[in-house]
Structure 1
């Protein structure tokens, strides 16, 4: 129970910082850092929405395996997408592990009611936190369309590699918009 409370507090702090970063450009943060499965992604702040703890999902039959169903997020229905499966690196999840994930909505300005399953929220990052390096084609996740995953990766001081995930490209993809099998 204490872990859940700590997770909720972290999510609240991150949501507050995300909102502050949107309204105050002096912070210099330009990305929300997340882990999806064993992969690190940087999501542009202006494309990210709100962060929610796992609310449970109403499954929708006859949809792609990466589309988990719909969730009620503060009175609004959002499609829930497992980005690990969508990007071609699915992971096995248990009922217990689902209570440790978060949902990150896509900014309403992008006009898609969707939430992405995020395994870990890693905070806000700026370009100063990384060293830019070119991405080799072999490193790009399997299903990512050109332009969705940035043309460069970033390495942090711990040596972890991060890729920018362009949500505005994702929501324009016909593959993403077609959830049927």
Structure 2
């Protein structure tokens, strides 16, 4: 059975990614199964840069095929911010609550119609058996359109999920159950495409 390393320490992402990849004939491996997994500095200019960097470095470290993602919330009224800085929008090591609070403050005077936004995920797959120049040889992206609500709602999810209302719904990601979210989310769309690629691989 092929082992695939999920290159993230975010427990929310791990849970979602395991659910989305659950019906493949693969063994999912995470960082708690290794000692001293290096922290990859996400200093890329784009989501793709960060995803590829994480996948490559951790494929090299573990010797396994590695899947990494980087996700950004793109808010139109903020000229695309927080974007690549989504996880640290309120500062380095900011909590989800602090990031959400800053976002709400910056959108305080806007109507719901003016709060259009989208989540974008880029997933990268790296295979340590490939030549160095092509070790990260597959990137796939998924996008989910929506709006930013006025206050955090819901107990599910993580990050900006309590604020993000996906298009066609009147509830936030954090109010939706995982079955629904895993059909419509940005990460789901990207990983569904990646599953097809993994089956061929």
Greater share of residues in strand:
1
Greater share of residues in helix:
2
With normalisation by structure 1, the TM-score equals: 0.29
Q: Which has the higher contact order (CA 8 A, sep 6+)?
A: 1
**Between Structure 1 and Structure 2, whose CA radius of gyration is higher?**
2
With normalisation by structure 2, the TM-score equals: 0.27
